[in-house]
Structures are given as structure tokens and as C-alpha cells.
Chains A and B, each alone.
Chain A
Amino acid sequence: MILVGAVSEIPVGESVRVQGQVAIAVFNVDGEFYAIDDTCTHQDASLSDGWLEGCAVECPLHAACFDLRTGRPSGPPARKPVRTHEVVLVDDQVYVHETIGTGVPAEVVGAGSGEIR
């Protein structure tokens, strides 16, 4: 598991980037934490620099929008989903359990492993 930081260090509406096998973005949506691959699948840009809209993040470059729960894009310009990762809270510390295997379609990965604890 990857330690992201204390809950208090990630305010509501903010995001943090951590390094796993690839960069992972962790978001605090009204106290719920979500983790997805940080790099937009449309063009290399950091989704942790993007804007939270409800339970989705909008890429800062071309406004591709990804659902934080499933990793799926809402529409063009992104076509491929990002991976989601399990977030675990232990003693007010936020950890990410990285989903192993890159490039796995979200149809397979997203449903079960992206649940928020």
C-alpha cells in the first residue's frame, strides 16, 4: 500500500499526486477519497491538476472528464478509461492499494476495485 498522507492534509476539493507504478491522483470529494491514474488517457496531463466536478475530474488541458468511481470518461476527447485504485483509511492516514496491471480496461477493473472504504 502507498501512504498518501493524513486525512487533514488533503482538504475537501483538493487532490494529491503519489507515485506508484505510475502516478496516481487521490481526491477528497466531500470527505470521500478516490484514487485514479493521474495521467489523462487523451494526452499526457496530470488529472490531479484538474478540476473536481461532483464525483468527476475534468482534465485541465482539454476538459476530458473522468468518473472517479469507475474511471470512465464521460465522452471525447478521452476514449479510454483510467484505472481506479482502492483507498484505505487507517488511523486517519490515507493509503492507496494500487491496482496491479496497467492497461486493464475499466470494464474489468473498475467495478469492484474502485470502491471507497
Chain B
Amino acid sequence: MSSVELPHQQPEPATSLIPTLPGAHYTDPALFEREQRRIFQAHWFAAARSSDLPDPGAFRTVDVGGESVLIVRGRDRSLRAFLNVCRHRGARLCVEDSGAVRRSLQCPYHAWTYGLDGSLIAAPNLNSMHDVDRGEYGLITVALREWLGTVWVCLADEPPSFADSVQSAVTGRLGDDEAIEEWGIDELVVGRRITYDVKANWKLIVENFMECYHCATIHPELTEVLPEFADGYAAQYFVGHGAEFGEDVGGFTVDGQSSGFDKLSGVGADHDRRYYAITVNPQVFINLVPDHVIFHRMYPMAVDRTVVECDWLYPRSVIDSGADLSKSVELFHRVNQQDFDACERCQPAMSSKAYAAGGVLVPSEHHIGEFRDWVADAISD
């Protein structure tokens, strides 16, 4: 896992500069609409943390690919996802972002009433309509999987293989099928959640996350903790490579001096004092450090606006001890702010004549070309 070439040993590419997507891909609402259907509705989408819905009746509504998806925990404690649309006249069932219902999901318009399993329980005068088969008028189900303590939904009629898409993105980056289990992410607890409303296209955020050419310029704290980031090669440039903490660094904390918390019990010695980063297309970033995990879910809201929900995850023992998380959280919170500021700086320029044909990727950013091609393929005819 850790026996990976050092950045300076990377072979020189034949061409130093390769193109990005053209500017219109970051500004054209019609292209965004196409992405919503071809990418966000077609792939598994990390919609929530399972623990956001602790008890029967707890729900969250999430925008996925332009659809409102309602995730609810049933009386059998299973999570289910539905299109948030009443089958009668189409009213939105739940308008709140999150909450809890007592027993049923009831449309506020005509009181069509659905069980937490989506079945139609009751509606005014329904008993007089003898020809109506209630089974045909339950809520429309959306595919749902839970993995890494995360609720993944897919709007496709035939969702892609979860193993071949989500799980292979994670294992492919770590270079090992089992490695991710070491962090025990499904058992970790949300110690802090910060939601960022970023005025930038979602792809600017993905592309930013994938490269570290900017690290030495905009991330002084991060580069202090991970000195090799000053060379501009992100952990994601490699397979199975974790960026090593600096020799005198105490932990993954904002000042690098504070020690952070005990290493997670499952993390092996070869993953200790290292930072791993994973992108799961199209909207998840996972950051692994020895004592916690930082999990980003992106929610594209418009061509020029993306909401990012970021969870800092710790063992329950750390949370229950009342430990001060601030130095631990502050490091990546600053990184997020620095990154999102950069993305917001780019967004207005995406519609400039100067950027009509797009920009360029330097060698340490060439792996972004794979993402660029993945997007282009997904939306092409």
C-alpha cells in the first residue's frame, strides 16, 4: 500500500498541457439539465448519513438530479427512499428538509396517506372507489443502499452495480479491496457537520478536490501538516498512496502541533500518519486520516450553485468524552473555505470569452482528464 513511487519519480507526460472542458460546461443550464439526467439520476448518489434518520418516522428530503427524494426510516427500522410526490395530484409530500412523522406520510393537499413503507393506507372516499387497487398507488420507490454509514440512492430504473461503481471507486483509489474497512466508517459518529453553499458549478469543486497543484498557494495549514503537498501532487494522483504527515507534526490538526485523537482501532501501521483522499463520482469526497474521517456530499442545485455537506466523523468514545474537536475540525474547515473561495473565483470567469474553449491541466492535474472524459461521455449522444 505505501510502496508507491514518490512524486518526483513520476514519468514526464508526452504533452504537458491538456485541455479542460469548455467554459459552457460550467455555465449552460441546458448542459446542467443534461448532467442531472445522465449523471445524477443515473448513478448512485450519497444522499444522507444513515444516522441522520435515527428512529422510525425520521425523514430527510434531498434533491437528486432535479427530483426531490424522500428518505424515511420505517417501523421495521429499514430505510427506504421514494419520489417525494403524491400519486394523486402531484403535491410535494414533505416540504421540510428533515423531520419526523408519527405514523404516516400524509399529503397536506387532499390527505392521501401513505405508510412509512410507501404503501397507500388511506384517502378520503377511497372505500367508495371499489375499482381502485391501492397497491398501484403507493409512493414510487427509489433504489437505496447503505454503505460507509451513508445512504446512497439511485433514480435509475436499473441502477448500475454498486460494487462496480461506488465500491470500486473506493477500493481502486486505495489499491486494496479491504483497506477502507480499517477506518470503520459506518461505526463512526458525526462530531461536526458544516454545510457550505458554494456559488460554483459542481465540476469545479470535484476538479479542485482532485488536484493539489493549488495546495502550496491556498492551503498553508494543510501543506504544513502534509509537506509533500507542496510539490503539487495530490494523494489522488496515485493508487494506494497516503500523503505522509511531516516529521514534527503531532496530528491532523489546524496547527499541526496538537496531537489529535488516538488512532482509530482498525487502522493499520502502514496507514498511520498518512492522509488518503478518494473521489466517488459524481459527488462524494472521502478523506481518511488516522484518527477521523471527513466525508463530503455534494448536492448540485443549479449550474452555478452547489451545496456541500461535510461531516467530521469520530469514534463514539471520542464524542462521548466531550473532547474538544475544534483543532481537528478547523484544519479541513479552512481547507474547505479556501477551496470553495477558489471555486467561486473561477465560476464568473467560466462565461468569459477568455475561457470559451476552456483552460489547461498541467501534468500533476492530468488525472482530472479522466473525470473530464467521464463527464463528457455521460452527456454525449
Contacts and interface: CB of A to CB of B under 8 A. Distances in A.
B142 interface: no
Contacts of B127: 23, 38-39, 44-46
Interface string A36-61: 00110001111001110000000011
A39 to B, nearest CB: 7
Interface stretch (B28-36, B118-126, B154-162, B194-202): B118-126
Interface string B84-115: 00000000000000000001101000010100
B103 A45 contact: no
Q: Chain B at the A interface: mostly helix, strand, loop or mixed?
A: mixed
B108 to A, nearest CB: 12
User: On chain A, which size bracket covers the interface?
Assistant: 10 to 19
B320 to A, nearest CB: 35
A62 B104 CA distance: 11
B128 A44 contact: yes
Contacts of B125: 43-44
Interface residues of B, number: 13
B126 A51 contact: no
Contacts of B122: 45-46, 49-50, 60-61
Nearest to B128: A44
Nearest to B129: A44
A39 B126 CA distance: 11
A45 B124 contact: yes
B121 A49 contact: yes
Interface string B116-153: 00000111111110000000000000000000000000
Interface in A44-100: 44-46, 49-51, 60-62
17 contacts: A38-B127, A43-B111, A44-B125, A44-B128, A45-B123, A45-B124, A45-B126, A46-B127, A49-B121, A51-B103, A60-B113, A60-B121, A61-B111, A61-B113, A61-B122, A61-B124, A62-B111
Q: Nearest 8 CB-CB pairs, A to B?
A: A60-B122, A44-B125, A49-B122, A61-B111, A46-B127, A43-B124, A60-B113, A45-B122
Interface of B: 103-104, 106, 111, 113, 121-128
